[in-house]
Structure 1
Amino acid sequence: MKGKNTLKVWLPMLFSVMMIMGMVIGYKLRNNTQTATSMFKFTQKRAPIQEVLDLVMLKYVDKVDSDTLGNAAIQDMLTKLDPHSNFIPASHLAEVNEGLQGNFQGIGVEFQIFQDTVNVLSVLPGGPSEKAGLQVGDKFLKVGDTVVTGNITSDKIRKLLRGPGGSTVTTSLLRNGHSVVATIKRGIIPIPSLEAGYLIAPGTGYIKLNKFSENTYEEFMGSLEKLQGQGMLALILDLRGNGGGILGEAIDIADEFLDGDKLIVFTEGNNTPKLEYHAKRKGLFEKGKLVLLMDEQSASASEVLAGALQDWDRAEIVGRRSFGKGLVQEQYNLSDGSALRLTIARYYTPSGRSIQKPYDKGIDDYDNDILKRYRHGELVNADSNKVANGTAFKTNAGKTVYGGGGIMPDYFIAADTSTGLNALGALYQNNTISNFTYLYYVSHSTQINSFDNAGAFEKGFNWSEQDWKKFVEFASRDSISLAGLPENDKNYVTRRMKGLLARFRWRNEGYYQVLNPSDEMVKKSLKILQP
């Protein structure tokens, strides 16, 4: 009984204390929802950027989209750090990640909108569309219940065609003047990073990589083993235009060329400890002759691979100075489905050189670097192709190399700037070249398909003078005059149109088999690799 009486005495007092505490905490939280009471030892205050955003949302004269405003503020903040830290809104994240994942879910066709009609340019071998009977030259009339002729955009048709794997989409097509209905079961569609892998000369292979995605090493190894089975003893690895991607894929490929436990690259940042990556297994191509092609668009993981091979004197670099991106980004997924790609370290080649070019003059200056190289003659003059104020390092064999602005080639090849840029620019801007080539392929597919392979096509097919006259007339419909076009420009255009014809039939590998025989970097590489 005594215990119960004591509880009756203290119970009102306990309720009073709890009520007072609740009032104090509630008052504090009302004043600042981001700052807890000192009772819990939390003293963090809201940053000014959050205060300003809250005030705008609460008091601004017009309605404001908080997501748009907040995203813009975040992106602007990141530009003050470096050129490659980046905020990715939730609505764009899947598309951004898709390229690195190496696949997406869809129907497996390439298309182009020509005269307000969606035309099938290529059909993935073994893919959903081929199984459903789609052919190059088909024209989409409807996707599901949606009419896709007339005012249609590439983004809209892409969204209509893509969907979860295993789902179906019914399409209405126009083929040779007749309507065809095809039901396509969507599946996983690979996005290959390896565009070509073939014997370019007896005993010499050629491999072209356009990026480093999750599947790049696997694709590369498949091509390497195939070429070795065909007697490959030397290799040209083409990284021109390769903007990088997943660092680990480039490291794995470097491991196939380097013996022992050689250092490939190391990364280090102010808040990130030094981390070294070494060769760790017996590579498939540790001894054969190797040439690596680079240009001003080769960046990031491409430069890691090139830097490692150059520092160990394993490959000859042919081309022009690479882009100069030596910053490592790590992706952090945020609570609203967006993501932050934050620069956390720099990467360094085995000799210790940083490839990152300066960015202390602002983003605009950084983004215009390639244009400045062109204006300063760097793309055409070997003497100007250098790292300004770069630091000198030594390769394993004692050759001088430079850090602080990309990878310098061992053999400089000037860019082809002799063509008439105005006329050619208009042809590309209006898709004149690709449109004419597509229509030619559709009407001459029997002739083109009569060639056994792209190599035979490269040697056996030539544009006639009548074909050129038809192209000149076709270009005039786009208000482009080709009268008096220099012979050099004419050859440039016809080579690319021939390459596109090969691409329709033999995909990207056919394209490069047609263009490479006249490619100055490739020709120089073949001379270097001669026994």
Structure 2
Amino acid sequence: MSNRKLNVFLPLLFAVVLALGMFLGHKMPGSNNGTTIFFAKPNRGPVQEVMDLIKTKYVDTLDTDSLQQEAIEGLLAHLDPHSIYIAPAQLEGINEDMEGNFEGIGIEFNITADTVNVVSVLSGGPSEAAGLQTGDKILKVNDSLVAGNSITPEGIRRILRGPAGSIVNTVILRQQEELQVPIKRGVIPLYSIDASYMVAPEVGYLKISKFSATTYDEFMQAMRELEKQGMTKLIIDLRQNPGGYLDAAVRIADELLGENKLIVYTQGKNFPRTEYKTKRPGLFEQGPLAVLTDEGSASASEILSGAIQDWDRGTIIGRRTFGKGLVQEQYDLNNGGALRLTVARYYIPSGRSIQKPYGKDHEDYDADIIERYQRGEMVNKDSIKIYDTVPYKTAKGRRVYGGGGITPDAFIPFDTTRFSPILGALYNRNTFSNFAYQYYTSHKAVFAPYEDAAVFVRDFQLNNAIVNDFKAYAKTDSITGLDHLSPREEKEIRIRLKAMLARQLYRTEGFYETLNADDPMIKKALEVLK
């Protein structure tokens, strides 16, 4: 009985569904213009089509991730030198560096003879709280043997880092005794101001190594400490600073320049002109100011030094800067990587673009620094190649130049002695650093009387016995020619060796305070500030 009713009902149901379908079809877009729409095929583009065909049809198995990375890099090679692809494996480290912190245990280490040596313990960090000391050797991390196991710096960082609050169990060797040390990971700051101290009476010194998310706060804290110590004049060291966040450079410029002054503006084809001006009374708008630059000062460093130069706020001392005036925005990709794409150019208050020329061949762009050296620009101001895009004189009548970086007001030549084969070998093999670590850990009592970096710089004498020990150590590292050093090479070794010993005691603060005691740019800055 039920089957008979179903047979009668089904034709009626089909008729209703058909009529409804016809009605909806009539109402759909395209039904009245003779076009029938079924399914829209996505427009993937030829590059994606080729990749899909290779994945599904190619005769051999391929590493398609690697293939895609090469394809992306090949595409970007036709753009400017600063539009880059960041692989997923690299992105975390880059972001940590720019954000100004990471989660880990708070040590500096080096690896010699397959042994992880604790070079420095961050003050107030997790490792100091757990009792780690400079000179300890890490044998195990959790259940992984790291000593004598061909561990790499990247490998040890990977197993030591982890979420804040988690525990990493280590086994360390201290003076032939094995100790089990559990360490509770925490948030570790990555400082961007490497040194801050009074370099002379009334003269403060700040070394900014990059412009990260924390740089402005670090700058303000350091400035207040220097003012408490009587600072009325300031040296800002931007040498070898590759740049970073624009916001950090703009906020620092706001503390140094008067109100409502243009610091920089950005503009691109699809990027309307955006101006960045000073907004509030600054902490140091009036005192004498010197800024140190060199061929490694780029991007945000050039924005800060260019604004100071254009507004006659201070004196730029050193050598012509790198010449990076392109603005990048970073876009996250689905594979965990990122695309850093150039979207605009920077222009400093005079209207100068600080970007040096680039063509299709990025090799010439990358080799620019070597070309400067060969042309003589590093040692002779008259050899500087000027790309003068905008003729400009400051309010005080100073002629300034643009189009290839910031040209300094006071030129200081590069010390070519540092390119000697002997010194080059010592730098490349980390001989200074490795010796300083070994000497310090075996002579800690010698360094105990020096309460801070200033006392160390003033009172510690690098005697001939230490220098001879260093030379003997370097010879075991296959460094030749140490018995026939020039007077300049001998002096450079003594300066660098004392600075590396200071770094063992006082980290980067001690390193720069020691190194700057004989630095020609510092001497010129002190002369200018008088």
- TM-score normalized with structure 1 length: 0.92
Structure-1 separation of matches of 2:360 and 2:448: 54
Conserved? CA contact 1:356–1:405, under 8 Å: yes
The alpha-carbon deviation at position 287 of structure 1 amounts to: 0.2
Kindly report which structure 2 residues correspond to 1:210-249, keeping only aligned pairs within 5 A, or say none: 210-249=209-248
Segments of 5+ residues of structure 2 without an aligned counterpart are 1-8, 27-34
Query: Which residue number in structure 1 is paired with residue 165 of structure 2?
Result: 166
The alpha-carbon deviation at position 361 of structure 1 amounts to: 4.4
Conserved? CA contact 2:387–2:401, under 8 Å: no
From 98, 103, 106, the equivalent of 2:104 is: 106
The alpha-carbon deviation at position 417 of structure 1 amounts to: 0.2
Secondary structure in structure 2 of the residue aligned to 1:166: coil
Structure-1 separation of matches of 2:392 and 2:360: 25
Check 1:408–1:41 CA distance in 2 against 1; reply closer, same or farther (3 A cut): farther
Conserved? CA contact 2:381–2:411, under 8 Å: yes
Segments of 5+ residues of structure 1 without an aligned counterpart are 22-36
Kindly report which structure 2 residues correspond to 1:293-332, keeping only aligned pairs within 5 A, or say none: 293-332=292-331
Kindly report which structure 2 residues correspond to 1:239-278, keeping only aligned pairs within 5 A, or say none: 239-278=238-277
Structure-1 separation of matches of 2:193 and 2:20: 72
Structure-2 separation of matches of 1:275 and 1:127: 41
Conserved? CA contact 1:243–1:297, under 8 Å: yes
The alpha-carbon deviation at position 179 of structure 1 amounts to: 1.2
The alpha-carbon deviation at position 120 of structure 1 amounts to: 0.6
Please tell me the residue identity of whatever aligns with 1:529.
Answer: L
Secondary structure in structure 2 of the residue aligned to 1:296: coil
Check 1:52–1:443 CA distance in 2 against 1; reply closer, same or farther (3 A cut): same
The alpha-carbon deviation at position 141 of structure 1 amounts to: 0.8
Query: Which residue number in structure 2 is paired with residue 24 of structure 1?
Result: none
The alpha-carbon deviation at position 429 of structure 1 amounts to: 2.0
More displaced, 251-260 or 11-20?
A: 11-20
Question: What are the superposed Cα offsets for residues 452-472 of structure 1, whole Å, 9 maximum, x if unpaired?
Answer: 221111121122222222222
Conserved? CA contact 1:320–1:385, under 8 Å: no
Query: Which residue number in structure 2 is paired with residue 279 of structure 1?
Result: 278
Query: Which residue number in structure 2 is paired with residue 29 of structure 1?
Result: none
Conserved? CA contact 2:388–2:402, under 8 Å: no
Query: Which residue number in structure 1 is paired with residue 75 of structure 2?
Result: 77
The alpha-carbon deviation at position 6 of structure 1 amounts to: 11
Conserved? CA contact 2:238–2:301, under 8 Å: yes
Conserved? CA contact 1:259–1:283, under 8 Å: yes
Question: What are the superposed Cα offsets for residues 266-317 of structure 1, whole Å, 9 maximum, x if unpaired?
Answer: 0010001110011001100000000000000000000011111111000100
Please tell me the residue identity of whatever aligns with 2:212.
Answer: S
The alpha-carbon deviation at position 20 of structure 1 amounts to: 11
Question: What are the superposed Cα offsets for residues 111-160 of structure 1, whole Å, 9 maximum, x if unpaired?
Answer: 00122211111000010000000000000111111111111111111111
Check 1:149–1:9 CA distance in 2 against 1; reply closer, same or farther (3 A cut): closer
Please tell me the residue identity of whatever aligns with 1:90.
Answer: P
Query: Which residue number in structure 2 is paired with residue 30 of structure 1?
Result: none
Conserved? CA contact 2:139–2:173, under 8 Å: yes
The alpha-carbon deviation at position 363 of structure 1 amounts to: 0.9
Secondary structure in structure 2 of the residue aligned to 1:335: coil
Query: Which residue number in structure 2 is paired with residue 175 of structure 1?
Result: 174
Query: Which residue number in structure 2 is paired with residue 13 of structure 1?
Result: 18
Structure-1 separation of matches of 2:258 and 2:370: 39
Please tell me the residue identity of whatever aligns with 1:368.
Answer: A
Structure-2 separation of matches of 1:315 and 1:18: 77
More displaced, 271-280 or 53-62?
A: 53-62
Secondary structure in structure 1 of the residue aligned to 2:147: coil
Give me the identity figure in percent: 51
More displaced, 314-323 or 493-502?
A: 493-502
Conserved? CA contact 1:102–1:192, under 8 Å: yes
Conserved? CA contact 2:351–2:390, under 8 Å: no
The alpha-carbon deviation at position 39 of structure 1 amounts to: 3.1
More displaced, 183-192 or 42-51?
A: 42-51
Question: What are the superposed Cα offsets for residues 40-83 of structure 1, whole Å, 9 maximum, x if unpaired?
Answer: 89687332211221222223232112221112211221121111
From 110, 113, 116, the equivalent of 2:114 is: 116
Secondary structure in structure 2 of the residue aligned to 1:266: strand
Conserved? CA contact 1:326–1:347, under 8 Å: yes
Query: Which residue number in structure 2 is paired with residue 51 of structure 1?
Result: 49
Conserved? CA contact 1:90–1:337, under 8 Å: yes
Question: What are the superposed Cα offsets for residues 245-264 of structure 1, whole Å, 9 maximum, x if unpaired?
Answer: 00000000000011121011
Check 1:17–1:190 CA distance in 2 against 1; reply closer, same or farther (3 A cut): same
Please tell me the residue identity of whatever aligns with 1:510.
Answer: G
Structure-1 separation of matches of 2:24 and 2:277: 63
Conserved? CA contact 1:419–1:488, under 8 Å: no
Question: What are the superposed Cα offsets for residues 426-477 of structure 1, whole Å, 9 maximum, x if unpaired?
Answer: 1122221111111111111111121122111112112222222222211111
Conserved? CA contact 1:420–1:489, under 8 Å: no
Secondary structure in structure 2 of the residue aligned to 1:418: helix
Please tell me the residue identity of whatever aligns with 1:527.
Answer: E
Secondary structure in structure 2 of the residue aligned to 1:39: coil
Please tell me the residue identity of whatever aligns with 2:52.
Answer: D
The alignment's C-alpha RMSD in Å is 2.2
The alpha-carbon deviation at position 176 of structure 1 amounts to: 1.3
Kindly report which structure 2 residues correspond to 1:121-520, keeping only aligned pairs within 5 A, or say none: 121-150=119-148, 151-388=150-387, 390-419=389-418, 421-481=420-480, 482-520=482-520
Check 1:468–1:57 CA distance in 2 against 1; reply closer, same or farther (3 A cut): same
Structure-2 separation of matches of 1:395 and 1:361: 34
Query: Which residue number in structure 1 is paired with residue 32 of structure 2?
Result: none
Question: What are the superposed Cα offsets for residues 378-414 of structure 1, whole Å, 9 maximum, x if unpaired?
Answer: 1111101242454422223332212211000000000
Question: What are the superposed Cα offsets for residues 208-240 of structure 1, whole Å, 9 maximum, x if unpaired?
Answer: 000000000000000001101111000000000
Question: What are the superposed Cα offsets for residues 489-524 of structure 1, whole Å, 9 maximum, x if unpaired?
Answer: 011012111111111111111111111111010000
Structure-2 separation of matches of 1:528 and 1:176: 51
Structure-2 separation of matches of 1:397 and 1:168: 60
Question: What are the superposed Cα offsets for residues 157-212 of structure 1, whole Å, 9 maximum, x if unpaired?
Answer: 11111110000011111111211111100000000000001100000000000000
Structure-2 separation of matches of 1:204 and 1:101: 30
Secondary structure in structure 1 of the residue aligned to 2:274: strand
Check 1:120–1:337 CA distance in 2 against 1; reply closer, same or farther (3 A cut): same
Conserved? CA contact 1:373–1:379, under 8 Å: yes
Check 1:419–1:238 CA distance in 2 against 1; reply closer, same or farther (3 A cut): closer
Kindly report which structure 2 residues correspond to 1:32-47, keeping only aligned pairs within 5 A, or say none: 39=37, 45-47=43-45
More displaced, 514-523 or 452-461?
A: 452-461
Structure-2 separation of matches of 1:263 and 1:483: 56
Check 1:476–1:38 CA distance in 2 against 1; reply closer, same or farther (3 A cut): farther
Structure-1 separation of matches of 2:214 and 2:418: 37
Secondary structure in structure 2 of the residue aligned to 1:64: coil
Check 1:163–1:468 CA distance in 2 against 1; reply closer, same or farther (3 A cut): same
Secondary structure in structure 1 of the residue aligned to 2:484: coil
Structure-1 separation of matches of 2:386 and 2:47: 39
- TM-score normalized with structure 2 length: 0.93
Check 1:525–1:54 CA distance in 2 against 1; reply closer, same or farther (3 A cut): same
More displaced, 203-212 or 368-377?
A: 368-377
Conserved? CA contact 2:202–2:231, under 8 Å: yes
Structure-2 separation of matches of 1:476 and 1:19: 88
Structure-1 separation of matches of 2:293 and 2:395: 21
How many residue pairs get matched?
512
